[in-house]
Amino acid sequence: MTATLIGATGLIGNYLLEELLKDDFYHTVRILFRRPLELTHPKLEKKLVDFSDVENFRLALEGSAVVFCAIGTTQKKVKGDKAAYRKVDYDIPVHAARFCKLNGCEKFVLVSSVGANSKSNNFYLKLKGEVEDAVKAVGIKSLHIMRPSMLLGDRKEFRLGEKISKGIFPIFSFLIPSKYKPIQGKEVAKAMAAAAKKSDAGFFISEYREIKQLM
């Protein structure tokens, strides 16, 4: 079986790649990326993809038993350009879901965010909600959406807001509703890997408690 991962260089994606490579359930782990990566492993198949080229993108997903999407950017990376932000956080996962369906792949696992709502006034939460709505509308047989709150783990880039939050959250954790509690990126990755092995058909949303239960 082939598992395809989009977003392998992010916090969750990096942990998920580790999980998939050590899992005998998959014969091949394929990663799609925009820039060359220096990664090697006997099970690893690397595909350099131009995500704006729809046919190139579709072909890169052929033969997948499951597609994991953990792609995402930040306002800092796109220099505040909301159109550029949308091309990454909306276009890539939505196209991936559509091509997944076209190619006959019946499982899609997506990282979203707690509070995702297409009717939100917050740009980020509204966008995540729109992604969820569009992906759900594709009609994939088994769709799992992870909605973590603040992610913990070793990021490659420094984020001041997260650094401050990590110091505050432990003090007031007892006051925080469970779905808003910080969670380790590694735990989300484990939950994604576990969700992909479930045989149930349908649309599933996992927040903090569900993610913990899936691990």
Beta-bridge partners for 30: 4, 45
Per the annotation, the verdict on 124 as an active-site residue is yes
Identify the CA nearest to 107 among candidates 141, 73, 84, 131. Answer: 141
Strand partners, 146: 111, 206
Q: What angle do CA 146, 135, 211 make, to 5 degrees?
A: 10
Q: Show the tokens assigned to 147.
A: 């909605």
Q: Which entry of 101, 124, 126, 179 is annotated as an active-site residue?
A: 124
Q: Find the catalytic residue in 107, 128, 186, 190.
A: 128
Q: How far apart are CA 193 and CA 187, in angstroms?
A: 10
Query: Has 85 been annotated as catalytic?
Result: no
Distance CA 54, CA 51 (A): 7
Q: Which helix (H) or strand (E) holds 68?
A: strand 66-69
Is the CB of residue 12 less than 8 Å from the CB of residue 151? yes
Is the C-alpha dihedral spanning 47, 53, 56, 58 positive or negative? Answer: positive
- Size of the chain in residues: 215
Query: Would you name the residues annotated as active-site residues?
Result: 124, 128
